[in-house]
Amino acid sequence: MKLSTQAKHYAFSRIVKVSPVVGSKLLYWKTFKHRLNLESPQTFTEKLMWLKLFEDVEFKRRFTDKVKMREYMITLGYSHLLVPLIGIFDEVEDIIFEQLPRKFVLKCTHGAKFTIVCENKRELDYRQTRLQLAEMVATDYSLKYAEPHYARIQPRIIIEHFIEPSMSNVSDKYKIHCFQGVPKMIEVTVKGSTPEQHRLMLTPDWQNTNYMKEKLAYGEIKEKPEQLEELMAIAKKLCKPFTYVRVDLTVVDEKIYFNNLIFSPDACLMTDIHEEANQILGKWLALDIGKAKQPIAYARPK
């Protein structure tokens, strides 16, 4: 008898709660069809897994919580890069939609992709939105992909203003991968000769690394942004305390906004890069395996 998808997710979450290491090994085997080497990790994906499980999880959790992440930005003097805040709410019931502007963005503090974008409040179903938010708040995101730094974060709801580009401009997102305090690679999404979008890895001077499995012609790469030097400087300052972090920034109408700090991109299961790139990127990370910490116990705050 086959288990339903919901039953599989529940069973996996139980495994992760007991041992995030075992959960990570299962995810790795399912994705790559070979064993996860945590004793002597060599590749980028293996080292990201090791960092996720054994580096100071409590420290990284402080910068995963979206409220504390904003506080970190303010401490560094980057408050001007934050999207203007409407409010922070502990309970879904505390949100009064009638008092919100016509456009806004809802985010939960304790997980990835817990976002609702409202571009026209008149078309928003308040009841359905509350139910959706309640489901997000109740979800322990750390159990989904065995990511301990998402555990034990107080689930809250942030409401930000909707940043809308002018008619003649679009929003450009830049995901800057930083290794040992140095921004070394920029991930962008582009449209090639087909309607589909493609991810691309570029060097700090905007050259294609060809690390992605699906290659694009150079002419299909988007033009280098005028803010590139500033984007890299911001990433360098933000990434300083971390062995590895991805700094996500957006440019809207030539203004830079901060989005996120990501410690486990693609849940450390990056399938879009080819194996040679996986080896190259792995060499950029020096791990202090002798100082490995045990994975934290899972428990949601009361």
> What pLDDT, in 10s, does the model give residues 58-81?
999 999 999 999 999 999 999 999
Average pLDDT rounded to a whole number, residues 11-36:
96
Residue 15 belongs to what H/E stretch? helix 5-18
- Strand-strand pairing, 85-89 and 157-161: antiparallel
Residue-averaged pLDDT of the chain: 90
The band of 219, judged by pLDDT with boundaries at 50, 70 and 90, is: low
DSSP 152-217: T----EEEEE-----TT---EEEEEEEETTEEEEEEEEEE-SSSSEEEEEE-TTS-B---BSS---
Amino acid at 52: K
Q: Which of 80, 89, 27, 88 is nearest to 53 (CA)?
A: 27
pLDDT at res. 299: 36
> What pLDDT, in 10s, does the model give residues 101-129?
999 999 999 999 899 999 999 999 999 99
Please say if the pLDDT value at position 231 is more than 90: yes
The band of 301, judged by pLDDT with boundaries at 50, 70 and 90, is: very low
Please say if the pLDDT value at position 246 is more than 50: yes
Q: Which of 17, 226, 262, 40 is nearest to 142 (CA)?
A: 17
